[in-house]
Amino acid sequence: MRVHRLERDVSVLNDYLPVPGIGFLPVNAFVLHAKEPLVIDTGLGLPDRGFMDALGTVVEPRDVRWIWLTHPDRDHTGALFELLAAAPQARLITTYIGAGIMSTEHPLPMDRLYLLNPGQSLDLGDRTVRAFRPPLFDSPATVGFYDDKSRTCFSSDCFGAPMPTESLAASDDVRDAPPDALHAGQHLWATLDSPWVHTVDTDRYLATVAPLRDMDPDTICSTHLPPAVGLTSRFIDMLVSVPQADPFVGPDQHALEEMLASFEPAQAAT
């Protein structure tokens, strides 16, 4: 994992995954260095990703007071139980349905849960964070939040985009990506991750963008995008345009066979 610190009290724990035919998908977790330190998500559920080692370079796990799980997909929960064991004072922030989903895989310590719904807030000692549901999401348990002190929005999957190269997926500034590639990647991810956007009432969907306009964050931290500073207006315009984007259609079996065939010469050479 790659670790870098943003201004305004945020550390980024960056990982990424190659996605055949699409690019390289950033997978970020974050630390908000509040008086009561908060970890946002816990990385990929794959072996040997080094999440706890990376986390230990920016905060002592025993000092962590809160773990905010934006939703219980496995690219967000990888080191969750390791962190709960290493941070005995930490409480796990999720929703009722989020706790239910996680409990189907591993028993949760119910006395350490903190259920927080969109519209509610949490005091971290030196700042207040406000929970909201991002306009685009792939899980009913998704809850992001806005930090009023650093003016940072943590948006879960919303605003994500696969990057064309590994170096861009590991970048500490999304402005390193070509604007056209970023816009196309965000449309691709939005229609892949939130396909319902083409079937819901457009006016009702657009109404969910209003809270983001009101927040007007300086920085947007998405799980699946390099950090974005000063791009909120452009990103909101992207959200507004998503219902008109082409729906995502994934590869079928024929395409899979072609991909597998293309790997055979490289495998034979090794």
What CATH number is attached to the domain comprising 139?
3.60.15.10
Is 270 a domain residue? no
- Give the pTM: 0.92
Question: Phi, psi (5° rounding) for residue 109?
Answer: -75, 100
pLDDT score, position 269? 54
pLDDT score, position 97? 96
Residue ranges making up the domain that contains 42: 2-265
Q: How confident is the model at residue 63 (pLDDT cuts 50, 70, 90)?
A: very high
pLDDT score, position 223? 97
Dihedral sign of CA atoms 108, 110, 111, 115 in order: positive
Is 19 a domain residue? yes
* Tens digit of each residue's pLDDT (9 = 90 or more) over 136-171: 999 999 999 999 999 999 999 999 999 999 999 999
pLDDT score, position 270? 52
Between 85 and 105, the more confident residue is 85
Is 101 a domain residue? yes
Question: Phi, psi (5° rounding) for residue 29?
Answer: -120, 170
Q: How many domains does the chain have?
A: 1
Separation between Cα atoms, residue 263 and residue 224, nearest integer Å: 26
pLDDT score, position 256? 87
| Mean pLDDT rounded to a whole number for the chain | 93
The DSSP output letter for 216 is -
> What is the mean predicted confidence (pLDDT) over 206-216?
94
Is 152 a domain residue? yes
What are the strands of the beta sheet with 228-229, ordered from one edge?
121-123, 128-132, 144-147, 152-154, 219-221, 228-229
214 and 135 Cβ atoms separated by less than 8 Å: no
Rg (CA), the chain: 18
Is 140 a domain residue? yes
Closest to 46 in 3D by CA, of 25, 67, 70: 25
> What is the mean predicted confidence (pLDDT) over 53-60?
96
